């Protein structure tokens, strides 16, 4: 059985903001790991979660689907979901799929944190 080729670390940068560092491949096999990272990141009254994709090597349509599922969950829980560190290729995919209309994308972690603080 194929395994997830992804690792995610959760960091809290302030009382209301957590960052999930995504490293590896975001595919269907990453679902359990992504949902656990979201659970950890959302603990303690977190109002914004930033997905840091600087370590992303690969994402397919199933990975995009997982992000949509995560977005729906975040919206239902009244949390803001942001991203940073996407390569130009994946920024294009976010634009084509219009995912960037629903999830704010930033070049750097610092920009995402500033935007999350404003929200």
pLDDT tens across the length of the chain (119 residues): 567 799 999 999 998 999 999 999 999 999 999 999 999 999 988 999 999 999 999 999 999 999 999 999 999 999 999 999 999 999 999 999 999 999 999 999 999 999 998 86
**What's the CATH class of domain 6-118?**
alpha beta
Both tokens of residue 91? 């920024």
Whether the CB-CB separation of 45 and 16 falls below 8 Å is answered with yes
User: pTM, whole model, 2 decimals?
Assistant: 0.94
Position 15 scores a pLDDT of: 85
Q: How far is CA 91 from the centre of its chain?
A: 13
The per-residue b/e assignment along 1-39, b for 16 or more CB within 10 angstroms, e otherwise, is eeebebebebeeeeebbbbbbbbbbbbebbbebbeebbe
Position 119 scores a pLDDT of: 60
């Amino acid at each position: 059985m194929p395994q997830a080729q992804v690792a995610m670390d959760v960091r809290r940068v302030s009382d209301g903001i957590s960052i999930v560092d995504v490293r590896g491949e975001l595919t269907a096999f990453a679902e359990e790991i992504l949902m656990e990272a979201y659970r950890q990141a959302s603990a303690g009254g977190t109002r914004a979660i930033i997905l840091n994709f600087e370590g992303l090597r690969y994402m397919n349509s199933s990975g995009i689907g997982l992000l949509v599922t995560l977005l729906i969950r975040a919206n239902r829980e009244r949390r803001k979901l942001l991203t940073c560190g996407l390569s130009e290729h994946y920024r294009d995919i976010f634009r084509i799929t219009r995912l960037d209309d629903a999830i704010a994308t930033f070049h750097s972690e610092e920009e995402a944190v500033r935007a999350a603080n404003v929200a």
